[in-house]
Amino acid sequence: MRNPDFRTPPTMTLQVMLAAGSQAVAASTDAVRRALSASTRGAQADLLFFEAWERSPTLGGIQRIRQLRRANPALAAELRAEIERRPQRTAARS
């Protein structure tokens, strides 16, 4: 039986959408948009995962994020700075 309070982490949702080939996933930061325009198709999933994780960190993705940060230190710094500058959105609760 599924716990009614269970919420799928954003990173897991992103991975499922990417695996399903969904076109609904789009970068929400300028830093990642720029990186996506210069990336290969294989790197796009990593960049979108990186952005989603920076917004809502989870323990499950930390090893991959460390690898991405080491490989892209300038992007990591730019992404963090941009996210910190933007106001946090709060989801409406029903």
pLDDT, tens only, 67-83 = 999 999 999 999 999 98
Question: d(Cα 20, Cα 23) in Å, to the nearest integer?
Answer: 9
pLDDT, tens only, 38-55 = 888 888 889 999 999 898
Question: d(Cα 11, Cα 77) in Å, to the nearest integer?
Answer: 20
> Quick one: tokens of 40?
């290969």
Averaged pLDDT for residues 54-75: 90
pLDDT, tens only, 15-33 = 444 554 555 568 889 999 9
Radius of gyration in angstroms for the set of CA atoms belonging to the chain, rounded to a whole number: 14
Return the domain boundaries, the chain: 10-84
| 78 touches 85 (CB < 8 A) | no
Q: What is the pLDDT of residue 74?
A: 95
